[in-house]
Amino acid sequence: MSTAVAQKKGFGAFMWDYLTTVDHKKIAHLYLVAGGLFFLLGGLEAMIIRIQLIKPDNEFISAGLYNEMITMHGTTMIFLAAMPLLFALMNAVVPLQIGARDVAFPFLNSLGFWLFFFGGLILNFSWFMGGAPDAGWTAYAPLSTTSPTHGVDFYVMGLQISGAGTLIGGINFLVTIVNMRAPGMSYMRMPLFTWTVFVTSTLILFAFPALTVGLFLMMFDRMFGSVFFDVASGGNVIIWEHLFWIFGHPEVYILILPVFGVFSEVFSTFSKKRLFGYSAMVFATVLIGFLGFMVWAHHMFTTGMGPVANSIFAVTTMAIAVPTGIKIFNWLFTMWGGTIRMTTAMLWSVAFIPTFTIGGMTGVMLAAAAADYQYHDTYFVVAHFHYVIVGGVVFGIFAALHYWWPKMFGKVLNEKLGKWAFWPFFIGFHLTFFIQHFLGLMGMPRRYWKFLDGQGLDTGNLISTIGAFFMALGVIIFLWNVIYTAMKEPKASADPFDGRTLEWSIPSPPPFYNFKQTPLVRGLDALWIEKSEGKKAMTPAEPLGDIHMPYGSIIPFVMSFGLFIAGFGFIYQVDNPVWLSLVFIGMGITLGSMFVRSVKDDLGYHIHKEDLEKGDGQV
Amino acid sequence: MSNEDILNPKQMPHEPEKATLEGKNKFLGFWFFLGGETVLFASLFGTYLALNDSTAGGPGTEELFGLELVFVMTMLLLTSSLTSVYAMYHMKNNNFSKMMVWLGVTVALGFTFLGFEIYEFYHYIHEYEFTFRSSALGSAFYTLVGFHGGHVLFGLLWILTLMGRNAKRGLNLYNAPKFYIASLYWHFIDVVWVFIFTVVYLMGKVG
Amino acid sequence: MAKDTNSTHNEFEKAEHKQEMQHQVISFVMMIIFTIAAFALVVSDVSKYFTIPIILLLAVVQVVFQLYYFMHMKNKDHEMPALMIYGGIAVAFMTILTFTTIIWW
């Protein structure tokens, strides 16, 4: 059932295998490929933005297209690149780290991916169907409700569908972590990555419904004539801003927490030390998750909420610096006195610390509500959030990919090329964004199509654009590394980095049932405990027996495809009610496949003990 | 042991809905989903509360709402919550036919509720010209109450599908969790309605 | 259907279920009474500064009955469900507080 076998069966069988898979490791591949493609697309949009801003009064692209570029860059990077790439890591690693054979809901796991994928497709179809959304990734009303093209409609439908997928994924990981841990793995023995995924999934559960409602209101206003955001009929535009940020601020913690987990794993492994202050790290993660829900209005300091509300949200925002600081120091102390190996994964992680600290510091500056009136909507804000999102999330994803690549694909990424990719990206990143702090302080507003000559903004913008090209070079070298590794590198061993956690106790890549026998966990860093006692493998917690596995299914794909069809119907029925037929067809497909799923039993099958013994774990 | 044997034990366990790992997962996952639904409805309630004075010259809540209808609807839904409790009681005692009867009563009550709701909307639209588009209050009202109504409809179709699918084969460890979470969903619908009749109708009447 | 009349264990369970059912019927009666009380209060034209807090309180108590008795949150193995429901309630509370206080107009 492995990829290699499927390829021998031919391309059609290979595709069918991936379309119907419910195996979390293959779903991880799907998320990685789809998220990676959207990441390249978002990167391309970023390059176009930077080329437009390379010199004053540039005419590279038109103002309208520029608005579409910035909107699509933000939306794509957050929803279609960062989120799925993190889901790729979660899928690839969490079940292995907790010693599980599968996730709690394999079917829903697949559904979550396909919903995200078709949502992303809808959003990007807008480019070819009359124009992309152009109201910024925040889509503030009334700018978004009055935008004349169908662009914002694509935004609404695309995010609604992919958001549903994310919510499903979040619930799946929550239940997986609560119910499927191996014997002996108590909560306080879970690897930190699993902990951060747990907290992140909780945030997804509570944050995404607010976006769902916001998008529904926007959809009703734009497509069905309701007046939520129409002031003339008593509507109130600030409702959208609140709903968006009640979702949107937890969203940034949804993005950053899993990579905090990644860094914790990487620092600990490559320093050959137990993570310093494990329980403080868990506590800080939970605290960040908790505080993350009380800070959203700091995006709205200048909307006139009044001094009381502004002060409350300023204080809660600054409070988040405390648990984040705890984490930074714990990572430093983990490295302190350790046997440090500067691998590529470690390089990205070490680079993250100063970068993210700069982003955190500007965050506290922005949290000061009075000062924020100066910074608001300038490039200072742009610099700030790129320092935390690129310096945090993207660095983290690169670190994680280098660290877990052997577990996902069975080969260690080439170290030399890895470092060659790191340096241009790292230098380019700081070139691009450090200068933007100063551009912002000099008064350059964000989202503007042009800037004028003679205002002292020329050099800064030129440097910024040059930096962007370095970043692009880094990404290209990374892609080359992926191809090179697939062609030239030898097969990796089960444990190429001398790891500490359970995923390194099974072959790379693991068999489709992960663990032949569920391992017995005797403490934090379960594999390391066994190693330090001179054992080569985990002690099994059960005798060798039959393994229950779920069947694959095409239904998730069909279900999501139905919503994809219906999405176009919803968007175009405004022009002509005939399009409503697409809504009925699409919803019919979706509800029909839900019905089929409900009435058709899916009991799964058993791998027999004898086959396991014969195959010796290699299937 | 085959799947069939595992799912049809000689003696039904104490809590058939949580006897298998799949059952435990469904149980927990559905509760978590309800946690998310809480936020979804809170966002809708918040929107409604922010807009409940925005009549744009049209009728306001005091003028519109009639408490008699709402009272009847409330009683219907509350009772249907009790009948689904009875259904789960019989499920735990492994009495499949009685469980089906009580689920049937639940569904009947649910459809009656939905009928009243449709009549209510029709009434507002034709007597008062109070529509989804006429004012921000209208948009917020129909969205909040309509979302609840949509949940009721989905719940009814869900329970009917489960009943139809399992009518012939009776209770086993594969479908027990399905019945159980459908009843959880039904209770949650009632929880939301308690706040709707209090916050929308009663508070709307008090002004 | 399995014929399971043999064990006393089973009789014990049945009795247990019956007792639980009694509690549920009692909570149902209470819910009906609370509902009638809330409607009566609104119809009887008392000051709204008295009525609104009381009917909200009645609603909350009703919901507690629903959650703890009808949905069995009082039983064991409901720690995680309770955690997530209370998490949801906390976010819900903040959302509604926001929409009733700092939304201008």
Asked if the Cβ–Cβ distance from B10 to C55 is below 8 Å, we say: no
User: CA nearest C91 in B: which residue?
Assistant: B39
Give me the residues paired with residue A314 across strands: none
- Smallest CA–CA distance, residue B36 to chain A, in Å, is 5
Nearest to B135 among A180, A225, A227 (CB): A227
Q: Which helix (H) or strand (E) segment is A505 a member of?
A: none
Average pLDDT over every residue of A514-535: 94
Cβ contacts of residue B118 below 8 Å, gap of 6+?
A: none
DSSP string, B38-82: HHHHHHHHHHHHHHTT--TTS--HHHH--HHHHHHHHHHHHHHHH
Task: Please report, in angstroms and rounded to a whole number, the separation of the first and last CA atoms in chain A.
Answer: 7
With a cut of 80, say whether residue A606 has pLDDT above it: yes
Interface contact flag, C84 A306, Cβ < 8 Å: no
**Residues of C in Cβ contact (< 8 Å) with A238:** 103-105
B78 Cα distance to chain centroid: 10
Residues 6+ apart with CB under 8 A from A362: A380, A383, A384, A387, A437
pLDDT at residue C4 greater than cutoff 60: no
Question: What is the spatial distance between Cα B12 and Cα B172, in angstroms, rounded to a whole number?
Answer: 8
Q: Is the pLDDT of residue A415 over 90?
A: yes
For residue B169, list chain C residues with Cβ-Cβ distance below 8 A.
none
Q: How far does the CA of residue C75 sit from the closest CA of chain B (Å)? A: 12
Q: Which of A98-102, A615-619, B191-195 has the lowest mean pLDDT?
A: A615-619
d(CA A373, nearest CA chain B) in Å = 26
Q: Give the angle subtended at the CA of B163 by the CAs of B161 and B166, to the nearest 5°.
A: 105
The string of DSSP letters for C66-85 reads IIIIIT-TTSTT-HHHHHHH
Cβ-nearest to B170 among C1, C48, C51: C1
Residues 6 or more apart whose CB falls under 8 angstroms from that of A54 comprise: A60, A461, A462, A465
HSE at residue B205, side-chain half, CA atoms within 13 A, is 22
What mean pLDDT is predicted for residues A217-231?
96
Interchain CB contact of C81 with A (< 8 Å) = no
The residue with tokens 């329970």 is: B159
Q: How confident is the model at residue C17 (pLDDT cuts 50, 70, 90)?
A: confident
Residues of chain C in contact with residue A305, where contact means CB-CB under 8 angstroms, are 102, 104
What is the rounded CA–CA span in Å between residue A174 and residue A186?
Answer: 15
- List the domain boundaries for chain C: 1-74, 75-105
- Residue C42 carries which DSSP code? H
In tens, the pLDDT along A309-350 reads: 999 999 999 999 999 999 999 999 999 999 999 999 999 999
- Give residue-wise pLDDT tens across range B113-133: 999 999 999 999 999 999 999
Q: Which of residues 17-36 of B touch C (CB under 8 A)?
A: 18, 28, 31-32, 34-36
**Per-residue pLDDT band at C1 (split at 50, 70, 90):** very low
Q: Is C102 on the interface with A (CB under 8 A)?
A: yes
- Interface confidence, given as ipTM, is 0.95
Average pLDDT value for chain B: 93
Query: Does residue B1 have a pLDDT over 70?
Result: no
**Cβ atoms of A24 and A95 closer than 8 Å:** yes
pTM: 0.95
Q: What is the distance between the alpha carbons of residues B180 and B15, in angstroms, rounded to a whole number?
A: 10
**Contact check, Cβ <8 Å, B34/C99:** no
CA distance A350 to C101: 44
User: What's the average model confidence in pLDDT over C20-34?
Assistant: 93
* HSE value, Cβ hemisphere, 13 Å, CA-based, for C48: 7
- Is any Cβ of chain A less than 8 angstroms from the Cβ of C53? no
Consecutive H or E run containing A458: helix A458-488
CB contact under 8 A, B78 and C1: no
Residue A8: the pLDDT is 62
- Chain C contact present for B143, CB below 8 A: no
The per-residue pLDDT for range A370-383, each reduced to its tens digit, is 999 999 999 999 99
Chain C CB contacts of B188 under 8 Å are 71
Alpha-carbon distance C24 to nearest alpha carbon in chain A (angstroms): 28
C99 contacts B10? CB cut-off 8 A: no
Max Cα separation, chain C? 69
Residues in chain A: 619
Domains of chain B: 17-206 (1.20.120.80)
3-state DSSP call for residue A549?
strand
Contact A206 C105 (CB under 8 A): no
